[in-house]
Amino acid sequence: MVNTKVTLSGLTLDNPIIPASGTFGFGYEFADLYDINILGSISCKGTTKEPRFGNPTPRIAECTDGLINSVGLQNPGIDKVISEELPKLAKHYQKPVIANISGFSIEEYAYTCEKINDHEQVGIIEVNISCPNVHNGGMSFGTNAESAFAVTKAVKKVTTKPVYIKLSPNVTDIAEIAKACEAAGADGISLINTLMGMRIDLKTRKPVIANKMGGFSGPAIFPVAVRMVYQVYEAVKLPIIGMGGVNSARDVIEMMLAGASAVQVGAANLVDPFACKNIIEELPKVMEQFGISSLQDIIGGSH
């Protein structure tokens, strides 16, 4: 009998499979399809201080082995997430969830994280620092070690729950950014967020997406994600949630060997709503195939 349990900052997950933020709504939408309590946890839809309608359409472009999206953090805002979305999820899911928080200034990050901190359903706060800093010319917080440090420090001042910083891969040295987050008190790291991509329509000769560029995700980015998880594992002493193109139980094990303690599944959910369920069911068989008795024992096993 294999053991699929893993731990994240004191939280024990029945398995390491977590639907990634933005690909699974607020979770309850999938409860009609299967018992979502089989999931290790759920990273809820990215939440901001104020409601956001998101970017203009079209927002999605298909690619070989992936897709580009520019949804623009569409969400009802932190107050409605707390009063409506999380209570709806609680009717179907009895485990701690991961609250994914975004912001456009350090003050917004701190405000929204402080509000979600007291919610009993939330086990971990995942801070997405891939957002544009409105006070710094629109450059993403996650592309600069100083900005990443500042956001992490501000959030840690107002929260008591574990804080995981979600890193952008669109940087020269992701290990440097991870070290800055660790120095500021982060409890863990999530990576990678989407790469930047673009498609052009041959008939119109214009970008497919209204926003021109968007986040590239799917199986094509998996090798990049594995490489970055490996690098960050060597750079910091924090637990890592790995993601980026995960599509199978074999991908999960590879990501964990690189250094991930848990694994998020993103674009695969948009292709097949049963993706996470299938991976969870497949995982014990693949563990047996490779002689793995406990997933906790293989974390960072390739180093």
Task: Please list the active-site residues.
Answer: 131
Q: Can you tell me the distance from the alpha carbon of 295 to that of 261, in angstroms, rounded to the nearest whole number?
A: 9
Say if residues 156 and 199 touch (Cβ distance below 8 Å): no
Would you give the DSSP letter of residue 108? H
Say if residues 246 and 255 touch (Cβ distance below 8 Å): yes
Nearest one of 190, 184, 187 to 169, comparing CA atoms: 190
**The pair of three-digit structure tokens given for residue 43, joined into one six-digit string:** 């990273």
3-state secondary structure of 94: coil
Q: Can you tell me the distance from the alpha carbon of 261 to that of 246, in angstroms, rounded to the nearest whole number?
A: 14
Nearest one of 162, 33, 42 to 95, comparing CA atoms: 42
Say if residues 192 and 224 touch (Cβ distance below 8 Å): yes
Give φ, ψ of 89 to 5 degrees.
-65, -35
Task: Tell me the C-alpha to C-alpha distance, in Å, between residue 59 and each of 19, 25, 54, 68.
Answer: 21, 16, 9, 8
Say if residues 21 and 43 touch (Cβ distance below 8 Å): yes
Say if residues 164 and 186 touch (Cβ distance below 8 Å): yes
Say if residues 273 and 30 touch (Cβ distance below 8 Å): yes
Say if residues 265 and 19 touch (Cβ distance below 8 Å): yes
Say if residues 156 and 126 touch (Cβ distance below 8 Å): no
Q: Can you tell me the distance from the alpha carbon of 60 to that of 70, in angstroms, rounded to the nearest whole number?
A: 7
